[in-house]
Each structure stands twice: as C-alpha cells, then as structure tokens.
C-alpha cells in the first residue's frame, strides 16, 4: 500500500513540477521581450528572436528527457504542455484582436506533439535497454 501511495503522489507532483519549470523557462527566455522590430520597409517581426525559442526548447529538453527516462512520460508530456500553454496564454492574452488564442492553441498542439514523441522515444529506449529504476529504500 505504501508503494501505491507513493506512486499516486509522485506522478501528479512530477506533472506540477514540469509545468512550473515550463512556465519559468518561458518567463526566462520569452517573457521579457515584448516589442516588435520594425524594418525599414515597414514590416514588423517578433517579438521573439529564433535564439530565444531555441533556448526555450533546449532548456526544456533536459527535464522532459529526465522524466521520460524515469518512467514519468505522461507527466513530461502533460506538465510541459500545460506549463507552456498557461505561459503563452498569460503572456499573449492582452492582444486586443483575439487572435492570441490561435497562437496559444498552436503552442499547445506543438508542445504536445513534440514532447509526446520525445517521451515515447526516451521511454521505449529505456525499456529496451532494460533500465529499471529502484527507489531508495526499496
């Protein structure tokens, strides 16, 4: 019974931790840049540069892989997706056009697909390699 109780606490806790990490990573990489760049021809880009988005992805790569390797693949997918979706909603919800919801949906679907595929690959590789994780004291 003790082991089942620990598992039932660890999975939601892992999901919450990963969601928090995703929101913190969003704030660190994307949250501070809120201006668009205006080019000489009048077109605008931004507010994010490619290096910021790549940095966000690489920052989240480690915790997602760690969680999937430790047999928390669902937590890796759900936590990261929820964290990025919440962060995007919070960051973009002041858009008066209402189109931010489409962007948030794209963030949600993209992060769900990418973390899902990555977690599946990592978890299946760990299983094929015969890696079993022993909990301390058990």
Give pLDDT, residue 33. Answer: 75
Q: Between residues 48 and 37, which one has the greater pLDDT?
A: 48
- What is the pTM (predicted TM-score) of this model? 0.83
- For residue 74, is pLDDT > 70? yes
Give pLDDT, residue 8. Answer: 62
Give pLDDT, residue 137. Answer: 47
- For residue 138, is pLDDT > 50? no
Q: How far apart are the first and last CA of the chain?
A: 13
Pairwise CA distance, residues 35 & 46, whole Å: 7
* Mean of pLDDT values over 104-116: 97
- Of all helices (H) and strands (E), which one includes residue 99? none
Contact between 104 and 92 under an 8 Å Cβ cutoff? The reply is yes
Give me 100's structure tokens. Answer: 């931010």
- For residue 80, is pLDDT > 80? yes
* Residue 122: other Cβ atoms inside 10 A: 19
């Amino acid at each position: 019974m003790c082991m089942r109780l620990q598992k039932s606490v660890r999975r939601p806790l892992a999901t919450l931790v990963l969601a928090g990490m995703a929101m913190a990573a969003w704030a660190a990489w994307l949250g501070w840049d809120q201006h668009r760049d205006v080019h000489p021809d009048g077109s605008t880009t931004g507010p994010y540069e490619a290096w910021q988005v790549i940095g966000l992805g690489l920052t989240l790569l480690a915790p997602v892989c760690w969680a999937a390797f430790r047999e928390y693949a669902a937590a890796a997918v759900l936590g990261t997706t929820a964290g990025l979706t919440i962060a995007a909603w919070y960051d973009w919800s002041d858009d008066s056009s209402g189109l931010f919801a489409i962007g948030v949906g794209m963030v949600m679907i993209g992060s769900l697909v990418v973390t899902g595929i990555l977690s599946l690959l990592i978890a299946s590789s760990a299983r094929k390699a015969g890696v079993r994780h022993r909990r301390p004291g058990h």
